[in-house]
Amino acid sequence: MTIRHLRIFIAVAENKKMSLAAKKLYISQPTVSQAIRELEEHYGVKLFERLSKKLYITEAGKYLLFQAKNLVSQYDNLEKSMKENYKRETLRIGASLTVGAILLSNILNDLESYNPNLDTFAYVNNTSVIEKKLLESNLDVAIVEGKIKSHDLISIPMIDDYLVLVCGIDHPLSTKKEIHLSDLENQKFVVREKGSGTRELLDEFLKLHNLKVKIVWEASSPDTIRHAVINNRCLALMPMRVMEKDIIDHKMNVIFNTTNEWNRYFSLVYHKDKNITDSIVLLKDILKKYKSPNFNVSELSSKLILE
């Protein structure tokens, strides 16, 4: 028994003739007869008496008619509700912590501006957690600064970024015009948590140059890190975009790596089997406008040079 069976039955009961029901439903009369016969066989009762070529609904038929109208009405309401409330697409976007702090809000506003019918859900965590969410299909797409390790994920570089070493204006290194690697030995550092792309880059740098530093803070919050730099005489390797305001306001000094070892990019990431919807294509187009930072570290009067 299906909703179609009930619609045909209701039409026959209301029109009292199978031919009129068939005409109203734009189907053949044999199709109507078969549907009524299947209903009667299904329930094991007669729904209509056929007397002198006329149809008379039985008591069982009257009961079914009442229930059928309720069921069909509920079904139609469900169809209408689902189409009205869920025809809007929801795009689940993941972002690593740096992206979440400096770009995600503007990106979401752009998405809403270009497609008002698109709903978004944003999730921010470090790169390794975001990668796991993508693999488990808990996110549709993500923008991250860290390296993606799974071969099941596609990673497309989209946004240029670079990191700088920063210190407070009262830090001993802030008065030096040139910083050598030996100057960083045993310095206090505040670092990002394990799993962060920024932390991974710093660890690689320290290992490559065989540098020993004192890690005295570990934090996932950029705001916590900036306070440790400004108030606790710590060094930190951080994205220039995050520290821009403090640097411009002369609360921090920049130690800029001239070898470009700290250059990187933010990538658009999604599963290789993901259906690429129009909203994902739109997101990709929006990211292009953020490709380059709107400032240049070399123009800042407080910069120092790492050699």
User: Which pLDDT belongs to residue 242?
Assistant: 83
Rounded CA separation 137/26 (Å): 44
**Amino acid occupying residue 252:** M
pLDDT at 219: 93
Report CA-CA distances (Å) from 46 to 55, 82, 215.
Answer: 11, 35, 84
Same domain, 172 and 285: yes
CA 152 to chain centre: 17
Q: What is the mean pLDDT of residues 73-88?
A: 78
Q: Are residues 125 and 190 in the same domain?
A: yes
269 and 168 part of one domain: yes
| 95 and 82 both lie in a single domain | no
Same domain? For 45 and 186 the reply is no
Residue 306 has a pLDDT of: 56
Indicate whether 241 and 110 sit together in one domain. yes
Residue 34 confidence (pLDDT) above 60: yes
Containing H/E element for 218? strand 214-218
Residue partners of 61: CB distance under 8 A and separation at least 6: 13, 46, 47, 48
Mean pLDDT of 257-269: 86
Q: How confident is the model at residue 211 (pLDDT cuts 50, 70, 90)?
A: very high
| Residue 198 and residue 99 share a domain | yes
Number of domains in the chain: 2
User: What percent of the chain stands above pLDDT 70?
Assistant: 94
| Whole-number Å distance between alpha carbons of 28 and 18 | 9
Residues 117 and 180 in one domain: yes
Could you report the per-residue pLDDT of 159-186, keeping only the tens digit for each? 988 888 999 999 999 888 888 888 999 9
Lowest mean pLDDT among 2-16, 80-94, 142-156, 216-230: 80-94
307 has a pLDDT exceeding 60? no
With a CB cutoff of 8 Å and minimum separation 6, the contacts of 98 are: 145, 161, 197, 198, 222, 239, 241, 242, 266
Render pLDDT for 187-205 as a digit per residue (tens, 0 to 9): 999 999 988 888 998 999 9
Of 110, 97, 91, 85, the residue nearest 274 (C-alpha)? 91
Domain-ending residue, one of 86, 105, 124: 86
Mean pLDDT taken over the chain: 88
Percent of all residues in the chain with a pLDDT value above 90, rounded to a whole number: 49
* 157 and 24, same domain (yes or no): no
Domain range for 12 is: 3-86
Give the model's confidence band at 140: pLDDT under 50 very low, under 70 low, under 90 confident, else very high.
very high
CA distances from 137 to 132, 142, 275 (A): 9, 11, 12
Domain of residue 96, CATH code: 3.40.190.290
Taking alpha carbons only, the member of 122, 151, 99, 130 closest to residue 287 is 99
- Using pLDDT thresholds of 50, 70 and 90, give the confidence band for residue 301: very low
pLDDT greater than 70 at residue 76: yes
d(CA 186, CA 150): 35
CA pair distance 221, 215, nearest whole angstrom: 16
Summarised one tens digit per residue, pLDDT across range 218-252 is 998 888 999 999 999 999 998 888 888 888 888 88
Residue 295 has pLDDT above 70, yes or no: no
Residues 125 and 270 in one domain: yes
